[in-house]
Chain A
Amino acid sequence: DTAVSQTPKYLVTQMGNDKSIKCEQNLGHDTMYWYKQDSKKFLKIMFSYNNKELIINETVPNRFSPKSPDKAHLNLHINSLELGDSAVYFCASSQGTHSSYNEQFFGPGTRLTVL
């Protein structure tokens, strides 16, 4: 009965490959997010997705594309992986877009290693 789940937990791949990370939440939340945490533990927002409206952090390369088949899922697809993409990627969700409901629930993370 995990609230926010991600698969896979670990992902090791070669430079240039394309990979996807899946995220599902069973909390009935309207908004989902993707974050990247680098080796120094800095956590940076990548995307916010609410009711099919996608808000993109402008610093995210367009090789990264979120895909949401429905409200409970937000997958992250990465094209042409680079060494600098190695990080831990966290999915999160929140009840809505009002700031009072912005407590976010995080998944366990996916550790991506690009060789």
Chain B
Amino acid sequence: SQQGEEDPQALSIQEGENATMNCSYKTSINNLQWYRQNSGRGLVHLILIRSNEREKHSGRLRVTLDTSKKSSSLLITASRAADTASYFCATDDDNAGNMLTFGGGTRLMVKP
């Protein structure tokens, strides 16, 4: 199975609700990143959390990292219809070339 697996695969909520997405990985990492992909577009970087950090905030985004469980979560508070997108976690495990390993993504739909 893949490094960086997201859960759930799909999530549908009402505008104003919070959305939580989880990511699990297998190897030791330097950092973990979250990206958003709107339909038909490229990925956009949201937030990077280093392996020695436990929580990070950026606007309505809150990311946690538990290296003992090899898991991370992305919380979007007070969701908006514009948050509808796929969200991917990606891990940097100190490999040559700084290549990121992406999970399969969570497809979030926020209904107005």
Note whether A and B form a binding pair.
Answer: yes
Check if A102 sits within 8 Å of B102, measured CB to CB. no
Within 8 A of A (CB), among B74-109: 86, 88, 92, 94, 96-102, 104-105, 107
Contacts of B40 on A, CB cut-off 8 Å? 109
Is A48 an interface residue when CB atoms closer than 8 A count as contact? yes
Contacts of A103 on B, CB cut-off 8 Å? 33, 45, 48
Binds B, one of A14-22, A38-46, A67-75: A38-46
Interface centre among A31, A41, A42 (most CB of B within 10 A): A41
Look across to chain B and name the residue whose beta carbon is closest to the beta carbon of A98. Answer: B98
A63 to chain B, nearest CB (A): 20
A105 to chain B, nearest CB (A): 7
- CB within 8 Å for A108 and B42 given contacts A41-B104, A48-B99, A100-B50: yes
A46 to chain B, nearest CB (A): 9
Determine which of B88, B92, B94, B99 lies in contact with A33 in the assembled complex, contact meaning CB atoms within 8 Å: B99
Look across to chain B and name the residue whose beta carbon is closest to the beta carbon of A50. Answer: B97
Is B27 an interface residue when CB atoms closer than 8 A count as contact? no
Check if B98 sits within 8 Å of A31, measured CB to CB. yes
A103 CA to B42 CA in the complex, in Å?
Answer: 14
Contacts of B88 on A, CB cut-off 8 Å? 43
Contacts of A98 on B, CB cut-off 8 Å? 98
Contacts of B2 on A, CB cut-off 8 Å? 42
Is B60 an interface residue when CB atoms closer than 8 A count as contact? no
